[in-house]
Structure 1
Amino acid sequence: MDDVTTLYPIGELSRRTGLSVRTIRFYSDSGVVAPTSRSPAGYRLYDLDALLRLELLRTLRELGMDLATIKRVLDRELSVADVAAAHADALDVQIRVLRLRRSVLRVVAGRGSDLEETKLMHRITQLSGEERRRLIDDFVVATFGSVDADPAAVAMVRAATPDLPDDPSAEQVAAWVELAELVGDEDFRIRMRRTAVRQAAGHALGIESEAGEELMDHTRRQVSEAMEAGVDPLGSGAAPVVDGLVHRFAEAFARTPDTEFRHWMAERFEEAHDPVVDRYWRLVWIVNGWQVLPHLVPVYPWLVQALRGDRGAASAR
């Protein structure tokens, strides 16, 4: 007999398909692959079509399809292509969720988070893309929602909306969690509104106007180079940079380069960048995966900290 007319007992079918006898019986009882006939002793017998149905069934099950859907495919009620496309879309969602969970777990492990922080991170990162956008929209409305809101300031903030990617790194997850907490703080909203309006308007600080463009360009260049070199504003490596700038500014303002003048400089430069607002922008860069361009990195917080010798400012940056 050739294979077209051959009937296989369940044991032979098990050997050919790699499925257990118990599993084949279950599929038979479920009506997915019914026996072709029975032997005189009452044992189930299967033909080549049943063998092929079982092989396809096994493949589809390994791809994660449920039995009810597979039965419809085998009965030609659904095409394999349509079902495969639907399952591929579902798997994409599952993969994104798993990647996000992996990143959260890495943050928890790296930070030694307690139970409450872990629950918070999980809840915040479980927000859908639409819910995350709504969170930022609510922040923008609460911050700039008044009728006299500066359109340029609103546009500047909206243009850099943080958008957590489908496959975020642990750093991006940590940044998103911090951002989500930050935008809900009323004090931060006030500080953001004040700073964003000034930045959008392009207003120069009094000290910038009075010091002149040449000295300000020199200051930004000196501090940027120190920051790029990883110089700690409170370390000994910062002293030559800061001392040189203090003397240059003292000459420009006809002042004595003493401690009092250093504090005066710090107060004037602190008006330029709120360290908490600067932190917001850094977090946005991280979440969005943007390259941090040196000329866009605020230099005044580093200078203010160096002038004051204040380690407290470091935690805010």
Structure 2
Amino acid sequence: MDDGTLYSIGDLARRTGLPVRTIRFYSDAGVLPPTDRSSANHRRYDLTAIARLELVRTLRELGLDLVTIRRVLADDISMSQAAAIHADAIDVQIQVLRVRRAVLRLVAKRDATTKEMELMHRIVQLSEAERHRLIHDFIDSTFGAVDANPELVELLRSTMPNLPDEPTAEQVEAWIELAELVQDDDFKASIRRMAAHQAAERAEGDRTGLHHELTVHVRDRVTQALADGVEPSSAAAAEIVDELVAHYARTFDTTDGPEYREKLLTRLEVANDPRVERYWALISTINGWATAPSLAPVFDWFTRALQQHRTP
């Protein structure tokens, strides 16, 4: 019950345990207005003000800023609304801290320099929209100027890196490497060559899509050849090449022959950039997907075998 007694800032400090300077700061900030003034113009507070001060202290300990506290005390927003606002802000802070933790773990793992750490942190701090824009810019700069395979372009645009709220150090490392890869001029030039080659094939009438079934067939046949120790220059390899080229010819509605084999060899050589496979592996790591087994040994063997057996 309020008995009408008024208290000085020093009295409030003794009753609450808060420093005088803190109480004065709250008063100056408008969250603890004085109840009255003494004849010497010193601030005085009643028991209601003391209860208000205890509430301000509790809200500050929970992390609410003074602007939000002022709105609560003025009944502009309810306590539950203030709590929800602050909980959302804490969620953002937690996400930032998790990313920072992952970057620090990566720095420790790499024994990175200060400059490298700053670069890693800057790259990781990109928003999801900015990360997606980086990939779209890469696609635009490589496939945008030519009539390349639209199914491949759509696959690239629909497969974006989505760094989780609590990324692992591996996911952060993958995102940093991906960001560096899609901005690498040499890699972009290599992809532009692939896109131009695809555009030239489309100009000749190729509308066969992504050729997943063909890729699976080559993978299975060559994987067995590798397991059997078949050398690319051997007679056994020649039979496998005949089979695979025949499969390619059926897929692209053409016939096997020296001219077609040269064309197919060019196709394989243009597409033989291990960084493409690395691109997809990084996307999978960032998104938490299973990484597909590498096809590099398969197509390396097939290319070398085709170089050795250029005629049916």
Instruction: Identify whether the pair has TM-score above 0.5, normalized to the shorter chain.
Output: yes
Q: Separation in 2 of the partners of 1:19 and 1:190?
A: 65
* Deviation (angstroms), 1:141: 1.0
Structure 1 letter corresponding to 2:91: D
User: Alpha-carbon deviations, 1:29-78, whole Å to 9, x = none?
Assistant: 54432444578999865333112211110112122233243233212233
User: Alpha-carbon deviations, 1:241-289, whole Å to 9, x = none?
Assistant: 463x44997435269xxxxxxxxxxx99975753111111101111112
Matched, 1:251 2:236: yes
Which residue of 1 is the match for residue 2 of structure 2?
4
Number of aligned residues: 267
Structure 2 letter corresponding to 1:87: H
Q: Separation in 2 of the partners of 1:222 and 1:151?
A: 33
Query: SS in structure 1 opposite 2:77?
Result: coil
Pair 1:40–1:144, CA change in 2 (3 A)? closer
* Deviation (angstroms), 1:81: 3.0
Matched, 1:14 2:13: yes
Does the 8 A contact of 1:27 with 1:33 survive in 2? yes
Q: Structure 1 stretch 65-74 or stretch 123-132: which is displaced more?
A: 65-74
Which residue of 2 is the match for residue 202 of structure 1?
211
What stretches of structure 2 of length at least 5 have no aligned partner?
Answer: 202-207, 241-264, 305-312
Which TM-score applies when normalising by structure 2?
A: 0.68
What stretches of structure 1 of length at least 5 have no aligned partner?
Answer: 224-240, 256-266, 309-317
Match among 289, 294, 298 for residue 298 of structure 1: 294
Query: SS in structure 2 opposite 1:100?
Result: helix
Matched, 1:88 2:97: no
Does the 8 A contact of 1:269 with 1:304 survive in 2? no
* Deviation (angstroms), 1:175: 1.0
* Deviation (angstroms), 1:79: 2.8
Correspondence list, 1:123-272, <5 A: 123-192=122-191, 194=194, 200-202=209-211, 217=220, 219-220=222-223, 241=227, 243=229, 245-246=230-231, 250-251=235-236, 253=238, 271=269
Q: Structure 1 stretch 97-106 or stretch 296-305: which is displaced more?
A: 296-305
Which residue of 1 is the match for residue 54 of structure 2?
55
Query: SS in structure 2 opposite 1:127?
Result: coil
Which TM-score applies when normalising by structure 1?
A: 0.67
Q: Separation in 1 of the partners of 2:101 and 2:119?
A: 15
Query: SS in structure 1 opposite 2:75?
Result: coil
Query: SS in structure 1 opposite 2:32?
Result: coil
Does the 8 A contact of 2:161 with 2:286 survive in 1? yes
Query: SS in structure 1 opposite 2:52?
Result: helix
User: Alpha-carbon deviations, 1:216-264, whole Å to 9, x = none?
Assistant: 63643697xxxxxxxxxxxxxxxxx463x44997435269xxxxxxxxx
Structure 2 letter corresponding to 1:202: H
Pair 1:222–1:45, CA change in 2 (3 A)? farther
Structure 2 letter corresponding to 1:110: K
Q: Separation in 2 of the partners of 1:40 and 1:221?
A: 99
Q: Separation in 2 of the partners of 1:118 and 1:39?
A: 57
Does the 8 A contact of 1:179 with 1:283 survive in 2? yes
Correspondence list, 1:65-84, <5 A: 65-84=64-83
Supply the RMSD in Å over aligned alpha carbons: 4.0
Matched, 1:46 2:42: no
* Deviation (angstroms), 1:183: 1.0
User: Alpha-carbon deviations, 1:99-127, whole Å to 9, x = none?
Assistant: 22222222112101123322322222222
